[in-house]
Amino acid sequence: MDFIDAAADWIVTLKIPHPPMEAIQLSEIIYASTQEIEKGISNLHNLKNVYKHCVEINRLENDADTLLRQGLARLFENNTDPIKIIKLKDFFEDLESATDRCEDVADVLEAIAVKNM
């Protein structure tokens, strides 16, 4: 939640009227990851189902890593203002960090499932 909040703050602070395409896609991945977390937690009674949600969260996080690299590459290619680059870089990294934390939750869910199988 902290990274999602930080990213939202960046939008306000930087007055970003139209977030970059990669930022929108990262937000969609965060949403999908949180949906998978909810499904994983809801399936703790059926530990075999928990694992498939953990795998999906890991896949989504890998997609987020790719989007971060693409977004940063496009950022550096299309901007010459170093201050803007630094600020947008932090914005992208906060979004991607949110997906990292989702993966951390998936790791905990997976550990619970493995321990109790």
Q: Give the total number of structural domains in the chain.
A: 1
pTM for this entry: 0.90
- DSSP structure class, residue 90: H
- CATH number for the domain including 40? 1.20.58.220
What's the per-residue H, E or C state across 6-43? Answer: HHHHHHHHCCCCCCCHHHHHHHHHHHHHHHHHHHHHHC
What are the distances in angstroms from CA 88 to CA 57, 61, 75?
A: 25, 20, 8
Give residue 3's pLDDT.
Answer: 86
Is pLDDT at 48 greater than 80 in this prediction? no
Expressed as residue numbers, the domain containing 110 is 2-115
More confident of the two residues 29 and 10: 29
Is pLDDT at 46 greater than 90 in this prediction? no
Predicted confidence (pLDDT) per residue in 58-108, tens digit = 999 999 999 999 999 999 998 888 988 888 899 999 999 999 999 999 999
Span 10-37, mean pLDDT?
Answer: 92
Give residue 80's pLDDT.
Answer: 87
More confident of the two residues 117 and 76: 76
Question: Residue 106 and residue 50: Cα distance in Å, rounded?
Answer: 9
